[in-house]
Amino acid sequence: MKIRYLLQSLVVLLLLLIAANYYFSDRLPKAMVNRVIQESMEGGLSDLAIRSQDKETLQRFFGSELATKDLDYSGDFTRANPDLPELLYIFEHIDYDQNNSIRQMITGNLAIQMTRQSFFKWKIKQVRIINELQINQ
């Protein structure tokens, strides 16, 4: 009976460790970058705790007349270099005409390189513009 209880406890502990690793390795940095992007889209760059070069990069990207609050975005890890995790963000807005045909699409891409300072803390190392916001017809 004690062995069964011990085995169940170990399985539960293992599952909790796997869930914690997923959260702190994947969900936490994405949530942090999503907050930075949302504040950048709203013009709140002065409040961000990132390097001034990265603020300028975000200002250049979101300072375009094409950057509207209607931009949809999503990001995911590139997994190209595990030692330097990088999130690739895709921005897009699709404009439709009266016949529900696509009139134009606005697209752009940002790459955000991250560093892990501790198990719980991530920091933005560099922000790069891959593709400026542009109209695709």
Indicate the domain borders of the chain: 2-136
Q: Cβ contacts of residue 55 below 8 Å, gap of 6+?
A: 45, 46, 48
For the stretch 50-74, pLDDT in tens is 888 998 999 899 888 888 777 888 8
What's the whole-model pTM score? 0.74
Q: Which CATH architecture has domain 2-136?
A: Roll (3.10)
* DSSP characters over 5-46: HHHHHHHHHHHHHHHHHHIIIIIHHHHHHHHHHHHHHTT-GG
Closest CA to 71 of 79, 61, 81: 61
For the stretch 83-137, pLDDT in tens is 678 889 999 998 888 998 888 899 999 999 988 787 677 888 999 999 999 888 7
